[in-house]
Amino acid sequence: MLSRDEAERLLADQRERTLARLTVLTGEHAGFVEASLDSNADDEHDPEGATIAFERSQVDSLITQAREQLRAIEAAHARLDAGTWGTCEVCGEPIADGRLEVRPTATRCIRHA
């Protein structure tokens, strides 16, 4: 079983990566919004490819996912404090260390995932 220090390190690393991704995505989203404000083009009928609206929607979706990941990290911290981190919420058995190393926010063992 992973130690508390290892668990905290895994969660901190994942949080740092998620925050960095969120920063980049938020900047991209702002760029799409700014581009659409300054444009008179009919981007919905652009034969050249994806529209600004489509791109903005895609980035918005990724931002939502990153924010959900941050909530999952906070929930994992709460489980760590409660002493339930690393325990499957379905069967109560320990979650394999390998799974937790890859996905420290996991709430279920591989069998119940």
Is the entire prediction scored with pTM above 0.75? yes
**DSSP-assigned letter for residue 49:** S
Backbone angles phi and psi of 87, in degrees to 5: -115, 130
Looking at the predicted structure, is the pLDDT value of residue 80 above 60?
yes
Q: How far apart are CA 70 and CA 31, in angstroms?
A: 23
Architecture of the domain spanning 4-39+51-112: Up-down Bundle (1.20)
Q: How far apart are CA 32 and CA 28, in angstroms?
A: 6
Q: Write the CB contacts of 70 (distance below 8 Å, at least 6 apart in sequence).
A: 15, 18, 19, 22
Find, among 64, 28, 24, the residue nearest to 72 by Cα.
64
Domain-wise residue ranges, the chain: 4-39+51-112
The per-residue pLDDT for range 26-68, each reduced to its tens digit, is 998 888 777 666 555 555 555 544 577 788 889 999 999 999 9
